[in-house]
Amino acid sequence: MSMRIVGLASGMDIDQIVNDLMEVERIRLDSVYQDKTRTEWKRDEYRSINLKLRTLRDAAFNMQLQSTYLTHKAVSSNGNAISVSAKGAAAPGEYRIQVNQLAQGAVWAADYKGDGKIDVEKNFAAFKEAYFADESSEEYTFKVSANGEDFIEITITEDTKLSDVLTKIQGAGINVFHDQEGTGQVVFSTQDLGAKAKIVFWQGETIPGDDENFEEIDFVKEVFLKTDNGEYASVDAAKNSGKDAELVINGLVTSRSSNTFELGGVTVTLKEETEAPVTITVSHDIDGVVKRITDFVDLYNETIAEINGKLMEPYYRDFPPLTDKQKEAMSEREIELWEEKAKSGMLRNDTMLSGILSEMRLALGSAVAGIEGEYNSLHTIGITTGLWHERGNLHVNETKLREALAKDPESVMALFGQKSESGETSELGLARRLHEGLGASIDRIAERAGSSASLYDQSFLGEQIRRYDERIETLEERLTRTEERYWRQFSAMERALQELYAQSDWLYQQLMALQM
């Protein structure tokens, strides 16, 4: 940037004069900046409204689904012994379950004697004579299974640590516990329960049979049963066999391979054995349906309140967007308070939003044709519109809503989610109507204000903002040229004054010479 030194001849503060002149020139540019800022604020307000409409549309979609209304709940008379949870397809009814035995997994644990412990940090070089007797041998392979059928293969070398092997064994569906601080004992247990659960280690192609003793398999004996003092621990083979859960359901003696299973759409979890049957009751979950409907109404009320608020928000003409220079002279709090008023009223009396609001009220306010039953409108199930000053706010009478759900849940479901066989809007369920209407409204707002997710905003306001940017660029270029012109003019004035002063000095000197 070149340094301008002017005003020496005239004695004028040229820099200040040019700045003042440019302030006047920038008024038009500032006005365009403010128009652009207002347009951006308006665009952002539209987008904020659209996000709320999208949320309500998603909720309206869920209100069309059968699973929203035909849900059930299951209750256990003894939750400490049996816990239950119902799915949407659960059939109402009652089950009496007695648990005679819980399902168990297989447990493989050595019975240690003495103070010897397994050192899991020991590598397999310590077992060289047993597994690497052939000097050319560099690895050793064995297999492990948690059910005697599916298995994984584990390869070890002299440098492999026992702790690494234990980690790999977990990949076979086996829990591994090493009592490092206590006995040093290593315990294996199957992750799956039931009679099929059994921990098997072997070498070769054939899986050991049930009558084979683990202590006779060299690998297991040397690695997991031999302790540091040279003794061999024993294994309780009886524990290395899982058990099915044994129970009686409504008088039927049966079994399950897991303590958690499905029963008529109900997930049952057995926790302890029982001396007497536990009663499981499955019924229509009216509480859950009431909550979903009231939550939907609350969301609807929040949405229309937001739109009504924007339509009625005051507009302050005396609070235009601040310029950068104005912000420099203000505190952060002053800027915040100013912009709060400057942003107010961007959507005041907006005709598009007013139309959308009317469509939303109409979608939920009229009856649904074609419903076989008395519940064909919101007011018949206890949902009514408030007083005029509430501007369409809905109120829920839970007592009346519960009565409708208990008496005819199918009609209530149709009221919200019914499809139209004829294509007539009057036959559409209220939530389905609202969902379709909101989709069109969201598209209209997007056409005007675009979406923050779009890489290139082709909306009406987006195009308007681009035109403002082009206008700003043109004005900034013009300001640059204007400022340069001012400097040229004042520089020329300074040069002319300097020449004038020089001529005046010469003339004065000549006159003085004549007098002498």
Per-residue confidence at 474, pLDDT binned at 50, 70, 90? confident
User: Does residue 352 carry a pLDDT above 70?
Assistant: yes
| Average pLDDT of the residues in 347-375 | 93
Q: Extract the tokens encoding 46.
A: 């539209």
pLDDT at 133 over 70: no
pTM over 0.85: no
Query: Are 292 and 71 in contact, with CB atoms under 8 Å apart?
Result: no
Residues 6+ apart with CB under 8 A from 400: 381, 382
Q: How confident is the model at residue 129 (pLDDT cuts 50, 70, 90)?
A: low
The predicted structure's pLDDT at residue 20: 73
CB 440: neighbour CB atoms within 10 A?
Answer: 10
In this prediction, what percent of the chain has a pLDDT beyond 90? 47
Residue 16 reports pLDDT greater than 90: no
Partners of residue 97 on adjacent β-strands: 249, 278
Placement of tokens 């009565």 in the chain: 403
Q: CA–CA distance from 415 to each of 54, 375, 380, 421, 432 (Å)?
A: 22, 7, 10, 15, 9
Supply angle C-alpha 262, 266, 269, rounded to 5. 65
- Among 106-110, 213-217, 220-224, which stretch is predicted with the lowest mean pLDDT? 213-217
pLDDT tens-digit readout, 311-322: 999 999 999 999
Q: Please tell me the distance from the alpha carbon of residue 198 to that of residue 107, in angstroms, as a whole number.
A: 8
Comparing 508 with 284, the larger pLDDT belongs to 284
Beta bridge partners of 94: 281
CA distance 218 to 382: 77
Q: How confident is the model at residue 213 (pLDDT cuts 50, 70, 90)?
A: very low
Instruction: Express as a percent the part of the chain with pLDDT over 70.
Output: 87
Is 349's pLDDT higher than 50? yes
| Sheet strands side by side (includes 174-178) | 174-178, 186-190, 107-111, 234-235
Please tell me whether residue 268 adopts helix, strand or coil conformation.
Answer: strand
* 88 has pLDDT over 90: no
Mean pLDDT calculated for residue range 251-266: 94
Q: Which of 102-111, 181-190, 391-400 has the highest mean predicted lDDT (pLDDT)?
A: 391-400
What span, in angstroms and rounded, lies between the C-alpha atoms of 460 and 274? 71
Model confidence at 413: pLDDT above 90? yes
Average pLDDT for the chain = 85
Q: What is the per-residue pLDDT across 368-382, written as a single tens digit (0 to 9) for each?
A: 998 888 899 999 999
Instruction: Please state the separation of Cα 404 from the chain's center in Å.
Output: 34
Closest CA to 142 of 160, 154, 159: 154
**Helices 460-515, 14-62: crossing angle, 10 deg rounding:** 170
> What phi and psi, each to the nearest 5 degrees, are found at residue 447?
-65, -35
Q: Is it the case that residue 179 has pLDDT exceeding 80?
A: no
